[in-house]
Amino acid sequence: MQTRTIDRFRDWFWRPPRAHGETIRNRTVSNLELLYDLVYVAIVGQAASTLAVDITARAALEFAAIFGMIWIAWVNGSLYVELHGREDGRTRALVFVQIGILALLAVFTGSAGGDSGRNFALVYALFLALQVWLWHSVRRLDEPEYMTVTGLWLAGMGISVVVVLASAFLAPDARLVAWIAYGLGWVVGIKVLGGRSVMFQRGVSPSESMVERFGLFTIIVLGEVVIGVVDGLSHAEQDVITIATGALALIVGFGFWWMYFDVVGRRLPRPTGSSVATWILAHLPITLAISAAGAGMVGLLEHAHDAATPPGTAWLLSGAVALGLGGIVVAALALDDASRLPAVYRPLIVAIAVGAVAALAVGWLAPAPWLLALLLDAILTVLWLVVIAAFLRADAWGEAHPSEAQPATE
């Protein structure tokens, strides 16, 4: 009996991962995945805190490059559990190992553009090396038709390890160039694989749990807006003007939430490789923009009494709103609902694009901080009202197109 118990435990603890194509359609996001996402709160917060105290073009570029690397790490770790993980000891243990590495990465993220750049690159390369092993363990179980696409994915990850590891020994400027190239390479690679590989379409099949995971990461970065407002109020003169400006700034975060979750959230992308790849990639500018806006809140409140918002802060906030809205447009175009409800999404996409241009105009004007926040709030509010009107006219308000139920595979 004892031997049988030990055998059962061993079989449960170290089960092989699910192969490509074994998507569980009706799975729910696990507590383990929620814990994994929480470590990114610390990493993104460290990156945003650096931008908050140094709003320059160089700092913004560094933030974008570092955030892109963070996002790519999250996509790899999240998709692995979504597509191949199980409710077993192996998955849990390996996720905990990743969390440990990512916690160490957070320590070096705040100054990754400077003194800690080498350590950041070394820890990040270690995380990638673990991901290479994880994805290779899946490839060993795959059917022959998946070998080409999984081989390309592993080759890309192997190159990524080499590039990031080599960047640790470069000067800061050259390291930044390497990191930007790394991020762009992943964006291009995902888009090309999604558009040209039928196996990508079969292996990365959209599910409600995948949609929920991307929504949860969006909520994580929305928390940076709240943190930015609280941090700004904590260090500024806490009078009526500053508090009112903080309240208006907080509403910008609420506007992002309304727009994302009513236009994109809980909605499946079309089940084609190109659409899924586009939908995944659209979340990079969306989450980057929200996180950058959170960083901009600190400077906005610091200058709450100024007659005009400092140009760097004004462009950061207005550019973040514009970029976030642009990402929502791209994600919306990839949705199954965009094909199913064209009368709703066509005018929405036009309106959101106009709103993005209007946000940039607000940044160019650089009015007083309270007025800048109020104008951005007004743009997001008008857009949300357009969203409501479009869905109500089509009698589709609150409707999210569900996936077709399929038997669970375990």
| pLDDT-based confidence at residue 199 (cuts at 50, 70, 90) | low
Distance CA 389, CA 404 (A): 28
Distance CA 371, CA 304 (A): 10
Whether residue 400 is predicted with pLDDT greater than 70 in this model: the reply is no
Report how many domains make up the chain.
Answer: 2
What is the chain's mean pLDDT, rounded?
89
* pLDDT for residue 26: 78
* pLDDT for residue 403: 45
* pLDDT for residue 397: 72
Query: Residue 261: inside a domain, yes or no?
Result: yes
Query: Residue 407: inside a domain, yes or no?
Result: no
Query: Residue 5: inside a domain, yes or no?
Result: no
* pLDDT for residue 404: 42
Do 241 and 298 sit in the same domain of this protein? yes
Q: Which residue has the higher pLDDT, 217 or 10?
A: 217
**Pure H helices in 88-239:** 89-109, 117-139, 147-167, 172-196, 198-203, 208-235
pLDDT digits (tens, 9 = 90+) for 45-102: 999 989 998 889 999 999 999 999 999 999 999 988 887 878 888 888 999 999 999 9
Do 239 and 288 sit in the same domain of this protein? yes
| pLDDT-based confidence at residue 226 (cuts at 50, 70, 90) | very high
Can you give the residue range of the structural domain that contains 64? 29-204
pTM, rounded to two decimals: 0.91
Largest CA-CA distance found in the chain, in angstroms, rounded: 79
pLDDT digits (tens, 9 = 90+) for 124-182: 999 999 999 998 888 787 777 777 777 888 888 899 999 999 999 999 999 999 999 99
Do 79 and 220 sit in the same domain of this protein? no
Mean pLDDT lowest among 339-343, 363-367, 383-387, 398-402: 398-402
| pLDDT-based confidence at residue 409 (cuts at 50, 70, 90) | very low
Query: Residue 18: inside a domain, yes or no?
Result: no
Do 191 and 274 sit in the same domain of this protein? no
Do 220 and 369 sit in the same domain of this protein? yes
Do 285 and 266 sit in the same domain of this protein? yes
Domain boundary among 204, 221, 248: 204
Mean pLDDT lowest among 235-244, 271-280, 390-399: 390-399
Do 101 and 57 sit in the same domain of this protein? yes
| pLDDT-based confidence at residue 30 (cuts at 50, 70, 90) | confident
Do 198 and 282 sit in the same domain of this protein? no
Domain boundary among 176, 204, 232: 204
| pLDDT-based confidence at residue 9 (cuts at 50, 70, 90) | low
* pLDDT for residue 399: 59
Do 226 and 284 sit in the same domain of this protein? yes
Q: 68, 288 in Cβ contact below 8 A?
A: yes
pLDDT digits (tens, 9 = 90+) for 274-325: 999 999 999 999 999 999 999 999 999 999 999 999 999 999 999 999 999 9
Do 58 and 83 sit in the same domain of this protein? yes
| pLDDT-based confidence at residue 407 (cuts at 50, 70, 90) | very low
> CA distances (Å), 406 to each of 2, 25, 351, in order?
38, 6, 36
Do 384 and 244 sit in the same domain of this protein? yes
Query: Residue 406: inside a domain, yes or no?
Result: no
* pLDDT for residue 197: 65
Which of 248, 219, 218 lies closest to 368, judged by CA?
248
Q: Which residue has the higher pLDDT, 398 or 232?
A: 232
Domain boundary among 188, 204, 220: 204
Q: Which residue has the higher pLDDT, 348 or 13?
A: 348
Radius of gyration of the CA atoms of the chain, in A: 22
* pLDDT for residue 405: 37
Query: Residue 153: inside a domain, yes or no?
Result: yes
Query: Residue 97: inside a domain, yes or no?
Result: yes
| pLDDT-based confidence at residue 17 (cuts at 50, 70, 90) | confident
* pLDDT for residue 44: 94
Query: Residue 270: inside a domain, yes or no?
Result: yes
* pLDDT for residue 410: 36
* pLDDT for residue 148: 76
pLDDT digits (tens, 9 = 90+) for 343-358: 899 999 999 999 999 9
> CA distances (Å), 21 to each of 18, 143, 154, 280, in order?
8, 9, 17, 18
Do 186 and 316 sit in the same domain of this protein? no
